[in-house]
Chains A and B, each alone.
Chain A
Amino acid sequence: MSLFFSKRKEMTFRFFYFYSKELILKKFFSKYFCFTSNSLKVMYTYRFRIMVWIIGDFTFLGVEYYLWTAIFKANNGVLYNYSLKQYISYLVAGLLCSRITECFLDFEVAEDIKLGHIIMKMLKPVNYVGMNFARHLGLSVGNAMNLIPLVLFTGIFIGFQKVSFFVGISFFLSILMAYIIKFFFIMFLGMTAFWLTNVWGLLLFKGHMLAIFSGQLMAISLFFKIGTSETVFLPVSFISENVIRHFFLGLGYLSYCLPFQAMAYTPAGIYTGIIPQNQIAVHLILQVFWIVFMYGLLQFTWSRALKKVTVLGG
């Protein structure tokens, strides 16, 4: 271990020392760029898998489309001043955002840790998190390409909304930040394998938390709408209206306490106008907060993990 530490420290030192020199900078990027292009190639080795993702997305959208169409139809085409078209385009945008920010590296990091491969990766003269980010970039390029059929389909059958310049810029900023938040979060989850060893359950848990609290199943603003307006029907006779309203209000507040809404709901909501213009700034600031928080958390976990790590064999 001591060997690793000295080497790593030396490397970081060298990077900071020569950071301003262009040549080293170029070298630095070309080194990491290898991981980017490599991960993209790996992804496209399994082309069939990509087909499956695409079909999976269409399945998800199909269910949601027919479900919400039926819901809106049952309510004369409007649900809390949202139109069907706006809501469907929100669902599509949400799916696109969550696919763009998608990151599967949590499983790989966890597997690295569990099987001990991590020691070989740490010995390399690259920053482990940085290397993963480079790989993540490559995977994202792949992900973006996989989204082409979905985007085309949306363009033809649903149509893209035209947005103002301000909204466009905030959308762009917000998706960029969502991308970073997601990456930090995923790295953090992967590293919990240092303590948990087997993280399958945790990752599954994350998936379902994401589904509900990132607004993928239902826009978070709807929680507040239900919480603040009068309910028309009581689905369950023994739960009173007050309880329902408090429950959904609580759910809404809870989703703003969790990082998930910053990963997909914010960009998608901004783009489709589910988040009104006067609230955009607040959401962006919240995203900045989550970046800082997640970065700190990741740094903390990584430094603690380095002290703890024991690899037998590897």
Chain B
Amino acid sequence: MRRFFLIYFTFFKQQIKLLIEYRMDFMLGMGALALQQVSLFIIIFAVFTRVSAIGGYSFNEILLFYGFSQMVKGIDHVYNDNIWLVGWGKIQNGSFSQYLIRPINIITHVVMERIQFDGFGELIIGAVIFVYAKITLGLDFTFVQWLVFILFLISGLAIFFAIKMMCASIAFWTIVSGEIMTVAYEINNFTRYPLDIYKSVLLKSVLLYLLPFAVVSYLPMVYFLRSSSHISQVIGINYSSPYFLIIFIPAIACVMLSAAFFIWNMGLKRYSATGT
């Protein structure tokens, strides 16, 4: 464990150096991601000068969903960005082989190699929005609720990790899988807003089971906002136990994660350098 942090810290130092080299580019990149947040915020804000609720959710509730989803996305963006390169050409140009000859676990190495500071823009704005919405809604968490919140957050991160890894490992077969990754990742845009507004059952099932982004941000927040009867109606599962979601969300995360590791390992066995 100590070794892990030591190596991580070494990589971290390298990243800082890289950052200083292209200072302007970094500032613009971070500004860009922040701008994206702000522009989406403006849209929601603009709409709510005219209507009082969308799909039964008030402005602050929508912000809560939005802030939380951006927070998870931001954290994921910060620590787990290098895997994009596996999908986008590390296998194609042969640089993936360097992971295989180093005495670190491959996936750990991939994660450690890059820290994407741009993600902090997303994370900070997401957190600010989330905290603001939480305060104005008067949502006070007890200690146990905080624990549940953290469990949901970790499950969400695990799901993001699993989806990205699963799609990246397709590259073991197809050499480049960045496109699949992009599509899968873009689907998370659906979960900026509550699942209630999507009237299509197919879409809901995709967001709940196939690419479970709704489990990342919608279910955790709606757990704190709405009664279980309302939720069961939206997601189409009949349940009565109030603890259902506390089991359901980590369970989905575990399933996704094991599937991702399974595919990744299967791909690794198959991996052969492209010869470039």
Residues of A that sit less than 8 Å from B by CB: 48-49, 51-52, 55-56, 59-60, 62-63, 66-67, 69-71, 74-75, 79-80, 196-202, 204-209, 211-212, 217-218, 222-223, 226, 231-237, 244, 248, 251
Contact = CB atoms under 8 A, between A and B. Distances in A.
Given A201-B27, A205-B29, A211-B39, 15 more contacts: A55-B183, A56-B183, A56-B186, A59-B190, A66-B193, A70-B55, A75-B51, A201-B24, A201-B26, A201-B32, A204-B32, A212-B39, A232-B49, A233-B59, A248-B46
Contacts of A244: 49
Contacts of B36: 208, 211
Given A52-B180, A69-B197, A207 B32 contact: yes
B150 interface: no
B53 interface: yes
Nearest to A80: B50
B50 A79 contact: yes
A233 B179 contact: no
A52 B182 contact: yes
B52 A74 contact: yes
Contact of A70 (B26, B54, B190): B54
A204 B29 contact: yes
**10 nearest interchain CB pairs?**
A201-B29, A201-B28, A52-B179, A205-B32, A212-B39, A204-B32, A70-B197, A235-B48, A198-B25, A201-B25
A202 B179 contact: no
Interface residues of B, number: 46
B54 A74 contact: yes
Contacts of B43: 217-218
A190 to B, nearest CB: 14
A200 B182 contact: no
Contacts of A232: 49-52
B193 A51 contact: no
A226 B47 CA distance: 9
A74 B57 CA distance: 10
Contact of A233 (B51, B186, B187, B189): B51
B50 A197 contact: no
B110 interface: no
B94 interface: no
Interface of B: 22, 24-33, 35-36, 39-40, 42-43, 45-55, 59, 118, 136, 179-180, 182-183, 186-187, 189-190, 192-193, 197-200, 203
Contacts of A59: 183, 186-187, 189-190
A199 B25 contact: yes
Contacts of B193: 63, 66-67, 70
From A69, A70, A211, A222, name the one whose CB has the most chain B CB atoms within 10 angstroms.
Answer: A70
B59 A235 contact: yes
A49 B179 contact: yes
A234 B193 CA distance: 20
Nearest to A216: B39
B118 to A, nearest CB: 8
Contacts of A223: 46
B50 A231 contact: yes
Given A59-B189, A70-B197, A212 B42 contact: yes
| Residue among B27, B118, B183 facing the most chain A CB atoms (10 A cut-off) | B183
Contacts of B199: 66, 69
Given A201-B30, A217-B39, A56 B53 contact: no
B73 to A, nearest CB: 15
Contacts of A211: 36, 39
B50 A233 contact: yes
A21 B54 CA distance: 65
A44 B16 CA distance: 39
A202 B50 contact: no
Contacts of A202: 25, 28
A200 B51 contact: no
Nearest to B52: A233
A282 B27 CA distance: 36
B51 A71 contact: yes
A125 B187 CA distance: 45
Contacts of B33: 204, 208
A2 B192 CA distance: 56
